[in-house]
């Protein structure tokens, strides 16, 4: 039985035009430190005249932090900075984040959080050409409103196109 939710493999980004036609995909080399998902239920909290509390949940907001704090290699950093330039130069294009590429049904329309980015160097590597940068963190914010906390239980995923005996074997393990 799998002990995680949503997926275990690496994230990927899909760039589409305004008609949702896929333009390209970004799959960095995944030499990153961490990829974290955060969600917040956004609500309005009321206290009535008797002092009782009630809340009305408006939406669920998601954000994702992709951290290359320990090392970010040229290939990955170039792809991510080009993505930021894409957002600047082609604002009608959309960025879709698939947090775990094995579950592409769990895809979110995102924007890049504008914040200070660090691109540091490693002088202790004696300035060798194979020295990566470090310190880079990029955050993605949900662009559209969600009404539920959308997760996937990998133990409940259906296996379409498999013979029944294989499905039974997969579900028993």
Q: Tell me how far apart the alpha carbons of residues 91 and 55 are, in angstroms, rounded to a whole number.
A: 36
Q: Tell me how far apart the alpha carbons of residues 65 and 18 are, in angstroms, rounded to a whole number.
A: 25
94-115 pLDDT per residue, tens: 999 999 888 888 899 999 999 9
Question: H/E element holding 134?
Answer: none
Write down all domains in the chain, each with its CATH number in brackets: 12-172 (2.40.30)
Instruction: Write out the DSSP string of 85-102.
Output: HHHHH-TTSEEEEESSTT
47-103 pLDDT per residue, tens: 988 999 999 999 999 999 998 888 888 888 999 999 999 999 999 999 999 998 888
More confident residue, 171 or 94: 94
Q: How far apart are the first and last CA of the chain?
A: 7
Range of lowest pLDDT (19-28, 31-40, 84-93, 162-171): 162-171
Residue 11 has a CB neighbour count (10 Å cut-off) of 20
pTM, full prediction? 0.80
Q: What is the pLDDT of residue 124?
A: 67
How high is the mean pLDDT of the chain? 84
Question: Which residue is listed with tokens 């294009």?
Answer: 93
């Amino acid at each position: 039985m799998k002990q995680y939710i949503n997926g275990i493999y690496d994230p990927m980004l899909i760039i589409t035009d305004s008609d949702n036609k896929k333009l390209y995909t970004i799959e960095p080399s995944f030499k990153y430190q961490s990829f974290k998902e955060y969600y917040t239920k956004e609500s309005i909290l009321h206290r009535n005249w008797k002092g009782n509390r009630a809340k009305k949940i408006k939406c669920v907001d998601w954000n994702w932090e992709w951290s290359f704090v320990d090392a970010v290699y040229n290939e990955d950093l170039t792809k991510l900075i080009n993505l930021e330039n894409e957002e600047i130069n082609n604002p009608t294009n959309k960025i879709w984040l698939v947090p775990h590429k094995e579950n592409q049904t769990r895809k979110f329309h995102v924007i890049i959080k504008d914040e200070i980015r660090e691109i540091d160097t490693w002088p202790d590597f004696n300035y060798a050409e194979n020295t990566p940068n470090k310190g880079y963190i990029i955050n993605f914010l949900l662009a559209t409103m969600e009404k539920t906390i959308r997760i996937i239980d990998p133990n409940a995923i259906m296996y379409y196109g498999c013979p029944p005996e294989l499905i039974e074997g997969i579900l028993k393990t």
